[in-house]
Structure 1
Amino acid sequence: MSPAESPVTQLTNQELDQTQKYVIASFAAIVWYNSIELIALCLTTFKRYRGWYFWSLFIASCSLIPHGLGFIFFIYPLGVSAYVSVTLIIVSWVCMVTGHSLILWSRLHLVVQARKLLRFLLVMILVDAIVFHIPTTVLLYGALEPNRDRFANGYKVMEHIQLIGFAVQECVISSIYIWETSKLLRLRPDRLHYTILTQLLGINIIILILDVAVVGIEYANFYALQVMFKPVAYSIKFKLEYAILGKLIQIARVSLSSDEPLSSNSQGADLSSSTQVSSQGNVAPDHEIPVLRSCSFCAFCTGFRKHGRHRSRV
């Protein structure tokens, strides 16, 4: 993308070669497939449809479909108004990006018990959403107007700023999770816990690598490819959430027999010593799964299918 060329004009039909169109269409197909799979996983994994974690994951997964559709309408000459296309892109982009940050934040409750830190991170997410989403939205709509040069140049700058801003936000939350997980590795030296927590650490590192990849493609001047690679990267991140959930459930099951806290903070969690695990690994239906003291904040307290019930232990 040349210095004088705006991202908006680069996405028009005239600015893309045939290879880029094929790549963008392929990315869109991958995003839609992953979105449908994620929605099905979300609805079949959770027993109760409530809580920060469930709704963040569900809405973010649903947003992938209109996000890809908006760019297809915008890029290809299908007779759809540019304002309709941009509206689909903006609304789904907000749900996808801020939704993912809320997913990371709600999951953080399992390993962090410092309420001030959790509240600070939530405020950070909300402030960043206002600071980055609103100006980008205004500039993008303005870039569709006939006299759009000033808006287009502003959008070009804001696009880089918001991309870096949200990437840093996700890296901060993921880094805190990685740090707390590494502390758990030191607290639980047994081989099983070490293996599970190492896998959790690896998954979160992959999420960080995806953030870096999105930023790298943007700054390599492949904007047209970046806009469709980004939802692909987010769909992969959402899929990795289910891998993380599986590992967290494994930790919870193993902890039942030892009555250990799930958090690296010894005051953070309270496990029920009466909870039993069957030989097949399922929690007995009449017992509890471990929950955090901050149950009113913890979205994982919505529970999972076939994993028993629980109550808040304040």
Structure 2
Amino acid sequence: MVLNFDAGGLNGISGFLHNSNNWLTAFVIFLLLMAMYNAVELAVMVLVSFRRFRGLYFWSLLLSALLGVIPYSVGFMLKFFTLVTPWVSCSILTIGWWTMVTGQAVVLYSRLHLVLRSSRRLKQVLYMIMINAVFLHIPTTVLTFGSNFRDDSIDFVLGYNIMEKIEITGFSLQEAIISGLYLYETYKLLHISRKNKAHRRIQYQIIAINIFIIVMDLSLLILEYASQYSIQICLKAAVYSVKLKLEFAVLGQLVDFIRNKASGYHHEQSQGSEIAMGSTNMSMAGSRKRYAGQDAGLPSTRADDPHFYGQTTTSVMPNEGENSSEERLNLPSGIIMTKTEFSATVNHKRGDSEDQCTY
């Protein structure tokens, strides 16, 4: 017979949620329902926003919501409040937990290339996600099933109580590292750009949302180390659903910023080339209409990112001969307003001049 615990720190790890406090029970159900609602809403937003249903960003968002948050919440509702066999409830919540936690990290990773130009650092982040998935998910999963199936499950419950603290600490550090990279690289990117109000607003939004995400992770850590398992485990579902929605918003803002920044840079470069050549009358409005096709702020523009459909990228760089404060950026071609390049070659041979323009 699986051991039952009184209301307290270990309550809910094994078997039902044994609690006489109706308010706490209602609060737990509310958190799980809110998480499922947020996941469904996010899935609808993703399906409506994306023009093409493919790519790492698209699938990580969609699967984290539909196969992550929802099964995780449903599994704990079955485990806490129904008589369904533990094989069913634990299997459902475990699938949801794996997809929700690691899937959310993949969502952040899938857009990290927008601000982080080091391929070596990007690989390190990917390896970190893979290693944590193996060494944190697998032991916790074994202890979860052992806590709910063994007659002498007290040892598994105590082991799970320790492993849960290690696991949530590890995943929180992982997310803090990725969010820290976003904050640092975005600050550098904004620092070298023109300091107008739009850029500052985006900077504040990115910083605020990333700080809020870290604070939510800290709240889960505090509840875990306070041994409030039932509250922490249900709040985790709500927190991850909110984080996914915030990341969908802030990463879209980041794409818009880089796209507009690249557009402004190309605009400056094209103006200089027009003056130098004296024969080019191409307007930037026409270029935007020809190459972009949509406004930068539309969700379909953000979602339709060719970086995740192929390996083609476009380098945006200043003239090599100038000591410019602009850094060389390796940006996905799908987020650049115009890919027009201007080059002029003047060759003087035997009194003849040859002008060559490449578009």
For normalisation by structure 2, the TM-score amounts to 0.72
Pair 1:29–1:142, CA change in 2 (3 A): same
Pair 1:16–1:94, CA change in 2 (3 A): farther
Higher relative contact order (CA 8 A, sep 6+): 1
Query: Hey, what's the Cα distance between the residues in 1 that align with 2:190 and 2:338?
Result: 27
1:11, 1:224 within 8 Å by CA — same for their partners in 2? no
Partner of 2:271: none
2:75 partner letter: G
Question: Which one of the candidate residues 127, 131, 135 is aligned to 2:139?
Answer: 135
1:295, 1:301 within 8 Å by CA — same for their partners in 2? no
Query: Hey, what's the Cα distance between the residues in 2 that align with 1:190 and 1:123?
Result: 37
Q: Does 1:296 align with 2:311?
A: yes
Query: Hey, what's the Cα distance between the residues in 2 that align with 1:275 and 1:128?
Result: 45
Structure 1 unaligned regions, length at least 5: 261-272
Partner of 2:50: 46
Query: Hey, what's the Cα distance between the residues in 1 that align with 2:132 and 2:24?
Result: 32
3-state SS, counterpart of residue 249 of structure 2: helix
Query: Hey, what's the Cα distance between the residues in 1 that align with 2:69 and 2:13?
Result: 23
Query: Hey, what's the Cα distance between the residues in 2 that align with 1:25 and 1:293?
Result: 37
Shift of 1:231: 0.9
For residues 78-129 of structure 1, what are the alpha-carbon distances to aligned partners after superposition, in whole Å with 9 as ceiling and x for unaligned?
2211121111111100000000111111111100010000001101100100
Greater share of residues in strand: 2
Partner of 1:149: 154
For residues 27-62 of structure 1, what are the alpha-carbon distances to aligned partners after superposition, in whole Å with 9 as ceiling and x for unaligned?
111111111101101111111111111111110011
2:312, 2:333 within 8 Å by CA — same for their partners in 1? no
Shift of 1:292: 6.9
Query: Hey, what's the Cα distance between the residues in 1 that align with 2:134 and 2:259?
Result: 40
Question: Which one of the candidate residues 6, 21, 40 is aligned to 1:36?
Answer: 40
Shift of 1:66: 1.2
Question: Which one of the candidate residues 186, 192, 204 is aligned to 1:181?
Answer: 186
Q: Does 1:111 align with 2:121?
A: no
**Aligned-pair identity (%):** 31
Question: Which one of the candidate residues 166, 172, 180 is aligned to 1:167?
Answer: 172
3-state SS, counterpart of residue 47 of structure 1: coil
2:73 partner letter: G
Match runs of 1:275-286 below 5 Å: 275-276=287-288, 282=295
Structure 2 unaligned regions, length at least 5: 267-283, 314-330, 340-359
For normalisation by structure 1, the TM-score amounts to 0.82
Shift of 1:18: 1.8
For residues 225-280 of structure 1, what are the alpha-carbon distances to aligned partners after superposition, in whole Å with 9 as ceiling and x for unaligned?
111100100111111123214412431442254236xxxxxxxxxxxx884169x9
Match runs of 1:50-65 below 5 Å: 50-62=54-66, 63-65=68-70
Query: Hey, what's the Cα distance between the residues in 2 that align with 1:27 and 1:43?
Result: 24
1:125 partner letter: I
1:35, 1:64 within 8 Å by CA — same for their partners in 2? yes
The number of aligned residues is 292
Partner of 2:347: none
Question: Which one of the candidate residues 221, 228, 241 is aligned to 2:234?
Answer: 228
Query: Hey, what's the Cα distance between the residues in 2 that align with 1:293 and 1:46?
Result: 12
Q: Does 1:197 align with 2:212?
A: no
RMSD: 3.5
Point out the structure with max Rg over C-alpha. 2
1:108, 1:177 within 8 Å by CA — same for their partners in 2? yes
